[in-house]
Structure formats: C-alpha cells, structure tokens
Amino acid sequence: MNHLVGVWDALHSPKLDKSRSDRWYRYYAGFAPEFVRDVIDEIKPDLDDGVLDPWVGSGTTLSVAASLGYRASGLDLNPAMVVVAKGRLIADDTRSSVQTLRDEILRQWRPVTGSAVSDDPLSHWFDFGGCGLIRGLAQRIDEVLVLDHLTPDGRVQSMSSLAAFFYVALFDSVTSLLKDYRSSNPTWVKGQKIGSGDVVIERPTLESNFKAAVDRLAMYVKKAGALSASTRDLIDIRAGNSRRLPFEASSFGTLISSPPYLTRLDYVVGHRVELAVLGFGDSDIRSLRQQMIGTPTIGGVISKQPLGNAANEFLAAVSSHDSYAAAEYYAPNFRQYFEGMADSLAEANRVTRPGGNIVLVVQDSRFKGIHADLAQCIADMSTQFGWVLTNRSDFTSIRSMAQVNSRAHKDARTLRPIESVLHFVSAAPSNIPATE
Ligand SMILES: C[S@@+](CC[C@H](N)C(=O)[O-])C[C@H]1O[C@@H](n2cnc3c(N)ncnc32)[C@H](O)[C@@H]1O
C-alpha cells in the first residue's frame, strides 16, 4: 500500500491550482487510484463480494473496484460530491457523444427571467441576469439529458453519469467566475446576502467557459480511460448519510474508504456554489451541515454508541484545556464528530459480512498541542464490534488543510500530519461480541 500519500488536490486555492488538466475536479482529501488497486490486490476479495465506500468523495474507490470487476456501492452526504463522483464514470458508449451533446445543449438555450431567479441561491454571488443565465443553462442540461425531477434531491439521485458529466462542466464554468470569493481557507467560500450578488456575466463568457470545461473534462476521461458500459453498471452512488446505510445486513465483503477527518473541514460550505447550481438553498445547506461528520457547527444528532478509550481521553484533555472555548465549543464539537463516526462504524459493521475486510485511511490532528491520534480512536471504537486490526501503516502526509489555513494553530501548520491506513477484519460469527 505504498501509493497512498500525496493526493491532496486544491479545492479553491488558486495558489495550488497547478496541474488542473490532471484532475477530474478540484477536490481535497482524496486517495490515489493506485492505492485502491494495491488494497484490492492485497485483500483479493471474491469477485461476488461487493465493495462499499460510505464516504465516496470524488469516487476513487468505486471506479477502481468496478474496473476490477467488483459491484461497487457508496454514498456521500454532499450532493455536489455525488454529482462529481458520478460524472467521472461516463463510459465508452457515451463518451463519443459528448461533443454532439455539448453542441445540442448550447444550440438552443434560454436564460430564466423574472421571479424565478429572485430568490435563487446563485444570487449570493451573481446579479439576477447572471443567475438567469446559469439557471437557463442548467435547465437546458436537464432537458437534453432528460432529467425531469423537480427537486434538487430527486435530480441528484436519478442523475445519469452523462448528465452529471455536464453538471460538473457547469460547476467548473461557474466557479471559475468567482475567483475573488475564494479565501485562503479552501473549504470556505464567501457570499453576499441572498439577492445581493453583483457578479455580472455575459452569455458568450458562460458559453465559452462551458465549452472549455466540457473539452477539458472529456480529455481527462480520455487520458484516464473511460469505463466500459458493463463496468459503469456495477457502480451505485447515492446521496445519503453513513449513519444510516441503505443496505441489507452483510451485503459487502470489503469496505475501502477515507472518512472525514477531525479537522473541522466544512465540505458543505466548500461546495456552496456547486450546491447552488444544483438548486440547493440556504436551508438545505444548514441541514446538510448539521448532518455532516466533522462539521464546525454544533447541535447534530447524538449517538449512544461507546466512543472508545482514545477518543474519550482526547475529549477529556480538550475539555480541561484552559483556552477560550475549549470546553464550551471544541470539546462538544469533537464529541459530535466521534459520535458520528461511532454510528457510522456500527452501520459499516452491520452491512459488512462476518470475516470481511475494512480498510480506512485517516489523518491525525491536533488541538492546541493535544494530539488526536484518529487511527487509535477508530481502532478503539471498533473493538466493540469484534473487529481485528491486522495492520496499521503510518505515512507522513505532504500537506494538510491546516497548512493552508493561515488561522490554524502554529503546531498544526508546522507539524506534518500522519496519515494511517488501518486494515481490520470484521468478526467471524463465532467472535461477534454479545450485545446487551
Ligand atoms: C475524506 S473525504 C473522502 C475522500 C475519498 N476517499 C476520495 O478519494 O475522494 C470524506 C467524505 O465524507 C463525506 N461525508 C461527511 N459526512 C458524511 C456522512 N454523514 N455521510 C456520508 N458522507 C459524509 C464528505 O462529504 C466527504 O466527501
């Protein structure tokens, strides 16, 4: 498993926006396809064993597993990431029609006007004319790619990989118009009050951005190698919450994933613009942030799962730290993270068959010098399910979010984070601990 470290794409930071043509979509915290290949090579799951990723991100696990012939399922809470992951999966049979469809989309499209755009979430950034243009182009994608769901949720769930491909091109076209709204923290996108956006765009600019984005993404797919149609059909990606997996017990033999880290990255706010393009408004964003594991907000769902020794010790150390807000905000916020992880691991345990393999990649972090050994926290948490940790490999990561965020604590900026690969084998039926 030597291919893990070093895959950390800039999300919104122009400074890091170098190898654009080699990336599917700007995204951070992803692992390399070679890493997933190495893991599968090592584990050698049976071909009828499904592979699960409950935190899909940009979809690396699923595309690699399916290309090796495995049924691959996964979910992500962030609908923008579901579209990003789906769009990467266009197959050979559809790739050849991309240019024709692009021209068909651009041949006849009309801006949306009037009251339909007055409370459009895009008006956090764009004036009403700009909102109408972007909304009109999105509606045209729906029309050409036959997406007739009226709700943003329905549209994301039913979106084909081809439609998602064009939505990713639209994300790219729109976000590139908002460079001034990016901050030094790549997961934070500023915006005005709804209805007060003042970015003006011209139709030809949006059209040429869209054309260029479609061509660049098509080039990426060509270089990466489009999937065969039969491979694509092995993949099932849905929007959903890892705390309630929509799968039957023992549905998968292998789980390969990278859960959210304890770094209070706001994956939802980082994709506010993409979510607005999909039609998600402020109340949807609030609700997604509440459900997101690792969110900086407080007040999410409480869990009754035990958190394990390492997490409890870390929480006790944070609570008793004398810095401002340590006990009032940081300790409850970190507790919420561990509760989300504990519920998700319980679900992972339920849907993984006894004796199955679970491979998780996590990164450590620090709070004011207190070390959070997340790998140990997860290992302790998993003992209640009878999982056996067969291997832990630690690597020094080349970059962390904290190093980009100038407001992060100096320790977090100077110490290189450790990335750990944990390999567990879930309990064989005879070893499953009795529950009360
Ligand atoms: C570290 S990233 C996964 C990266 C992925 N392995 C890749 O290669 O791109 C973690 C993902 O978990 C998602 N997430 C956070 N909370 C979630 C939840 N409750 N349910 C499902 N996904 C969640 C985030 O949206 C984010 O995409």
Calculate the alpha carbon distances from 341 to 268, 303, 358 in Å: 18, 9, 14
Q: Which pLDDT does position 6 carry in this prediction?
A: 36
Mean pLDDT of 165-186: 84
Ligand 1 pocket test, pick from 34, 38, 53, 77 with the greatest ligand atom count within 8 Å of Cβ, gives 77
383-414 burial, b at 16+ Cβ within 10 Å, e below that, comes to ebbbbebeeeeebebebbbbbbbeebeeebee
Comparison of pLDDT for 434 and 192, the residue scoring more: 192
Retrieve residue 201's tokens: 């765009």
Per residue in 51-93, pLDDT (tens digit) is: 999 999 989 999 999 999 999 999 999 999 999 999 988 888 7
Comparison of pLDDT for 303 and 316, the residue scoring more: 316
Retrieve residue 40's tokens: 């599968």
In a domain, 4, yes or no: no
* pLDDT band, very low/low/confident/very high, at 436 (cuts 50, 70, 90): very low
Ranges assigned E (strand) in 216-268: 235-239, 252-257
Q: Which pLDDT does position 432 carry in this prediction?
A: 56
pLDDT at 408 exceeding the cut of 70:
no
What distance in Å separates the CA atoms of residue 382 and residue 432, rounded to the nearest whole number? Answer: 12
In a domain, 284, yes or no: yes
Q: Which pLDDT does position 410 carry in this prediction?
A: 58
The verdict on the CB of residue 239 being under 6 Å from ligand 1 is: no
Ligand 1 pocket test, pick from 56, 81, 339, 374 with the greatest ligand atom count within 8 Å of Cβ, gives 56
Per residue in 255-302, pLDDT (tens digit) is: 999 999 898 778 888 899 999 999 999 999 999 999 999 988 888 778
Taking alpha carbons only, the member of 38, 56, 44 closest to residue 393 is 38
In a domain, 3, yes or no: no
Torsion of CA 113, 116, 119, 125, to 10 degrees: -40
In a domain, 7, yes or no: no
* CATH number of the domain where residue 157 is located: 3.40.50.150
In a domain, 1, yes or no: no
What distance in Å separates the CA atoms of residue 243 and residue 255, rounded to the nearest whole number? Answer: 15
Centre of ligand 1 from the C-alpha of residue 75, in Å: 8
Calculate the alpha carbon distances from 283 to 289, 290, 334 in Å: 10, 11, 24
Q: CB of 45 within 8 A of CB of 253?
A: yes
Atom of ligand 1 nearest to the CA of 242: 20
Domain count across the chain? 1
What distance in Å separates the CA atoms of residue 352 and residue 360, rounded to the nearest whole number? Answer: 14
Q: CB of 249 within 8 A of CB of 52?
A: no
Tokens 């789980």 sit at which residue? 255
Q: CB of 172 within 8 A of CB of 208?
A: no
Ligand 1 pocket test, pick from 58, 64, 73, 76 with the greatest ligand atom count within 8 Å of Cβ, gives 76
The verdict on the CB of residue 168 being under 6 Å from ligand 1 is: no
In a domain, 105, yes or no: yes
Mean pLDDT of 153-167: 94
pLDDT at 324 exceeding the cut of 90:
no
Q: Which helix (H) or strand (E) holds 204?
A: helix 203-224
In a domain, 166, yes or no: yes
The verdict on the CB of residue 74 being under 6 Å from ligand 1 is: no
Q: Which pLDDT does position 188 carry in this prediction?
A: 63
The verdict on the CB of residue 55 being under 6 Å from ligand 1 is: yes
In a domain, 8, yes or no: no
Centre of ligand 1 from the C-alpha of residue 341, in Å: 11
Ligand 1 pocket test, pick from 38, 55, 361 with the greatest ligand atom count within 8 Å of Cβ, gives 55
The verdict on the CB of residue 94 being under 6 Å from ligand 1 is: no
The verdict on the CB of residue 267 being under 6 Å from ligand 1 is: yes
Domain range holding 332? 14-431
Residue nearest ligand 1's atom 25 by CA? 78
Retrieve residue 190's tokens: 């500023």
Question: Strand 388-396 to strand 418-425: parallel, antiparallel, or no bridges (unpaired)?
Answer: antiparallel
Residue nearest ligand 1's atom 3 by CA? 57
Per residue in 342-381, pLDDT (tens digit) is: 999 999 999 999 999 999 999 999 999 999 999 999 999 9
Edge-to-edge strands, sheet with 252-257? 235-239, 72-76, 51-53, 252-257, 352-363, 418-425, 388-396
